[in-house]
Copies of this chain bind each other. A is one copy, B any other.
Amino acid sequence: MVRAEIKQIARDIRTMRIRGAGRIARAAARALKLVAKTSRAKTPAEFTRELGRVSELLLATRPTAVSLPNTIRYVMLGVKRAREVDVQTLRRAVISRADEFIRGSKGAVEQIGEIGARRISDGDIVLTHCNSDCALAIIKAAFKQGKHIQTFVTESRPMRQGLISVRELRKVGIPTTLIVDSAVRHFIRDIDKIIVGADSIAANGAVVNKIGTSQIALIAHEARVLFFVAAESYKFHPETLVGRLVST
């Protein structure tokens, strides 16, 4: 039964079996596609209401994950543009937008890696914090281009995601040093560049990310070390345009 499948997706997001902004976003797109494929709605209005209910179900799973409303908005734009002609057209619009989103999302991290890697020079020592897909994509892409780089990774207490990053970087052969979070300023003169990910980005450019990020940014600023934030576009928080504060 389809209902069950959609509920399962919602449950998996809520219980963090599905985690990471990209994976959550793609799961939501998949859920909407399922609705479009299996809906028994007779009228465009009915169909739209059904999508609305599922959207609300998905949004409730992780109220602070900004990639969720961004995905839904992206997919639903297909419906809006189709202007409620007939159910069949709407169905196709949702499926096509959802597929488009999923493809785009998968490609985004890879593209960020490629563009970001141009900023890494041969011989650079790069520091990263926590465990960000985008940040690691850049470092790995630069390394695959044959640049001799080394990395420093902060432990990232309390959850210690730095250890995951260390493992990922060492697996591809990048020389990596784990440091405690309080050692960043001690090593900063050795660091050429810092790359971190983002949980959410506000209209004024403010970045919301894992505890410790702002502290590293301050240290980098003082030492004039380049500091890059790498994030997919669905991390952007559109309601900050009209003044909303980001809830974390």
How long is the Cα–Cα vector from A62 to B170 in the complex, in angstroms?
Answer: 36
How long is the Cα–Cα vector from A119 to B189 in the complex, in angstroms?
Answer: 18
Complex contact A243–B118 (CB within 8 A): yes
Does A218 sit at the interface, judged by CB under 8 A?
Answer: yes
Does A156 sit at the interface, judged by CB under 8 A?
Answer: yes
Does A7 sit at the interface, judged by CB under 8 A?
Answer: no
Complex contact B218–A219 (CB within 8 A): yes
Complex contact A185–B118 (CB within 8 A): no
How long is the Cα–Cα vector from A122 to B154 in the complex, in angstroms?
Answer: 28
Complex contact A215–B185 (CB within 8 A): yes
Known contacts A158-B180, A180-B158, A224-B223, A185 near B218 by CB under 8 Å: yes
Does A244 sit at the interface, judged by CB under 8 A?
Answer: yes
Which A residues have a C-beta under 8 Å from some C-beta of B? 115-119, 121, 154-158, 180-186, 189, 211-212, 214-216, 218-219, 222-224, 242-245
